[in-house]
Structures are given as C-alpha cells and as structure tokens.
Amino acid sequence: MTDAADIPIRVRPEIAVLPPYKQGRQADANAFKLSSNENPFDPLPGVVEAVSDASSFNRYPDATATRLRTRLAERFGVDLAEVHVASGSVAILAQLVQAAAGPGDEVIYAWRSFEAYPWLAVVAGATAVQVPLTDGARHDLPAMAAAITDRTRAIIVCSPNNPTGPIVTQAEFDAFVAEVPSDVLVILDEAYAEFVTDPDAVNGVRVLETGAHPNVVVLRTFSKAFGLAGLRVGYALGHPRLLDAARSTAIPLSVTLQAEVAALASLDAEDELLERVRVIADRRDRLATALREAGWSVPQAQGNFVWLATGEETLAIAEQFDAAGIIVRPFAGDGMRVSVGEEESVEKVLGIAASVVKDLPEGHPARRLA
C-alpha cells in the first residue's frame, strides 16, 4: 500500500487532519472492558428472540421506523411527528448539527465532554466553541450562554456529562434556555438519563412538556441503559420542524429491522431492564464512594461510569489498570473514564485504584483533599 500522502486526492484539509475514530480496546478473556460505557448484562432472551425472528433482511427496513416511533410517542405522550429514530443517537447529533450549522457557523458545547462533539462540528464545516467545565467537572452554563454570538447555530448540553459524570440541574437548564435566542438549536444529550438518581437533574421530557422552548431537542439512546449498543438505535424528541431537518440530512434506511424490533422488545421489558439499571446505579454509587474513601477525588457520577482526573499521568495509569485486567478509556493529559461493569470488576478496579492513588503526589487533582 502506498502512503495516503502519496496519492493526489483532495480531501478537505480539516478532514485530512482529523484522527480516525479510535474504539475502546477489545478485552481479552480475563480482562474487564470498562472503556465504552456498555451494559454488562447479557441481552434479555425475549430481545434475542425478537431479533432472531426478524429474518426478512433481504428487504429494506421501514425507512421511518413507524412502529418504534409510534411506541415511543405513546410512551412519552407526544405526537408521532415529535419522535425521530436513527442508528444511534450519535447519528441524530450529526444530522442535527449538519442541518443547523455550516461553514462560518458556531457550535457551542462544554469541554471536556463527549468525544463526538468536536468531530461533528468539524465534519459539518462549522466552528467548534468549547466552554471549559467548572470545578467539579460540571457544565458552566452561564459561560456557555455568554459564548453565544450571532454565528451560534447549535448548542449541545450533555447531562450526565460523558466522560466526567455530573448532571446539569433542572434549575440551571431552565435559566440557561431562557437566555438562548429562540432561533438557536439546543440539543440536550441524555444518553445516560435512565441512570440518573439525583432528583435535581434536568429531565428533557419535562422540558418539552412545558412547550416553552421549541428550540430544544432531547436525545436518548437504547445503547446504554437498554443494552443495545451493537444494534445501533437512538431517538430524538422535539418539535417536528427540527426533527424534519434531521430527517432531511439523515442517510435513509439506516435503522435496521433488527434494531427496531429489539427496541420494541426492550420497551416491552422496560421494567425488567430498568431493574438492571438500578443495579448498575447502585454499583456505581458503591464504586464512587469506595474510590473516594481510597483517596480519589471523584466528581458526581450520575451515568454508568466514574471519572478520575489523572492529568499528565493518565496514560501511565491507564497502563497500570490494563496490566491489572481493567481496560479504561484514557484521555491523554486529562483523565480517564471507568465504566461500571460486571459486579466482579468492582473489586478489581478498587484494588488497582487503591494502589495507584498512593503514588500520586499530594495536591494532585485526582486526589481528594485530606
């Protein structure tokens, strides 16, 4: 193979410098893969059965996923036109950002937040405006409001924030949207909504129910709480006009019949799946508490993961975890995210974490102040 640099194909310069997507490493048999916020429970038998019965894949799927959208519309008490389904909520993020922002336009989001956000803005040709998190690794919504200009076309709010964990409160969100011009799209990314136990957290469905802010679109996914990451299905709730814009930029027929029936079967089994979510949330709370007791500073953890601000030591520490059979998601120079996985992984994480924290100097940001 020749080096890509040797062939005379023109690629947009901002795309040429983008690093290709890097997936959380696959785990070998004895390691726990805690790098992708996946659900550690095996799929429910009823869901597996629905997928294996959906064998007519010589046919294209229903492009509008009407059965699933109807079911979600009933579930949330909204109209069919107020529900959009795509192959993962990342696909909807891309559709919305492309629909709203082009070259010269600005997309605001908190940083550090979900890795896809900078990429989405670049691919749309728009300018990313990153607003640093506050102490406690939380969204700084007043600073995000202050960053709005005439060029702002979309703002992404992630609650709970991936990878750091804290929620945005309902009061913070309400005060924020009141400041956002009504023609600017606000995307509330609630990929981890089902894991939230803090009663003060923003709830996108409640925001939509008020009808006060038709510029807000709420994103949710079947990948995390419902354990369908490999089938690719997520959804958006919001004003039909905004969702129509997303439908216009969508690649048609991306949601497979298998994904649709798995989502429907998951909604049939919602109580059972949410019981598993409660188990994971309890495990998360136990993990976060034990890490703090061991000397780590852990920001509020409301997703299915915890954040350790390991800073310059991140890659070295991630390797120590790796050697102990725990695969984490490191963000070089900043910190690492550890998913809440199998029950047996908890003790293993705590073992290596307790040994690593002792080597960090006093005053290191990952250490709890004594």
Ligand X SMILES: *Cc1c(COP(=O)(O)O)cnc(C)c1O
Q: Of all helices (H) and strands (E), which one includes residue 286? A: helix 270-293
Residue 24 identity (one-letter amino acid)? G
Size of residue set near ligand X by CB under 6 A: 14
Among 40, 88, 166, 227, binds ligand X (CB under 6 A): 88
Location of structure tokens 């003790």:
347
Among 81, 143, 229, 267, binds ligand X (CB under 6 A): 229
Residue 223 vs 314, nearer CB to ligand X: 223
Map residues 110-129 to x or -, x wherever contact with ligand X holds by CB under 6 A. ----x---------------
CB neighbour burial string for 95-128, b if at least 16 within 10 angstroms, e if fewer:
bbbbbbbeeebbbbbbbbbbebbbbbbbbbebbb
In this structure, how many other beta carbons lie within 10 angstroms of the beta carbon of residue 76?
Answer: 17
CB of 141 to ligand X, least distance (A): 17
CB of 164 to ligand X, least distance (A): 11
Distance CA 298, CA 165 (A): 9
CB of 235 to ligand X, least distance (A): 9
Q: Is 234 in the site for ligand X (CB under 6 A)?
A: yes
Residue 261 vs 357, nearer CB to ligand X: 261
CB of 198 to ligand X, least distance (A): 17
Q: How many CA atoms, within 13 angstroms, populate the side-chain half-sphere of residue 282?
A: 7
Q: Is 317 in the site for ligand X (CB under 6 A)?
A: no
What's the DSSP call for residue 182? Answer: T
CB of 367 to ligand X, least distance (A): 26
Tell the burial category of 271 from Cβ atoms under 10 Å away from its Cβ (0-12, 13-18, 19+): exposed
Tell the burial category of 135 from Cβ atoms under 10 Å away from its Cβ (0-12, 13-18, 19+): exposed
Map residues 241-270 to x or -, x wherever contact with ligand X holds by CB under 6 A. ------------------------------
Q: Is 223 in the site for ligand X (CB under 6 A)?
A: yes
What crossing angle do the helices spanning 45-53 and 257-268 adopt, rounded to 10°?
Answer: 150
Among residues 147, 113, 107, which one has the least CA distance to residue 133? 113
Residue 61 vs 227, nearer CB to ligand X: 227
Q: Is 35 in the site for ligand X (CB under 6 A)?
A: no
Residue 215 vs 339, nearer CB to ligand X: 339
Q: Is 189 in the site for ligand X (CB under 6 A)?
A: yes
Location of structure tokens 């919504």:
141
Q: Of all helices (H) and strands (E), which one includes residue 312? A: none
Residues linked to residue 83 through DSSP beta bridges, in sequence order: 237
Among 90, 97, 154, 257, binds ligand X (CB under 6 A): 90
Stretch that binds ligand X, among 63-71, 204-212, 217-225, 277-285 (CB under 6 A): 217-225
Q: Is 165 in the site for ligand X (CB under 6 A)?
A: no
Stretch that binds ligand X, among 61-69, 87-95, 174-182, 314-322 (CB under 6 A): 87-95
Q: Is 162 in the site for ligand X (CB under 6 A)?
A: yes
Q: Is 109 in the site for ligand X (CB under 6 A)?
A: no
Among residues 73, 99, 32, which one has the least CA distance to residue 287? 32
Instruction: Return all residues near 315 (Cβ < 8 A) that are at least 6 apart.
Output: 330, 332
The overall longest dimension of the chain from CA atoms, in Å, is 63
Stretch that binds ligand X, among 124-132, 221-229, 272-280, 311-319 (CB under 6 A): 221-229
Instruction: Return all residues near 354 (Cβ < 8 A) that are at least 6 apart.
Output: 294, 295
Q: Is 287 in the site for ligand X (CB under 6 A)?
A: no
Name the site residues for ligand X (rule: CB under 6 A): 37, 88-90, 114, 158, 162, 189, 191, 221, 223-224, 229, 234
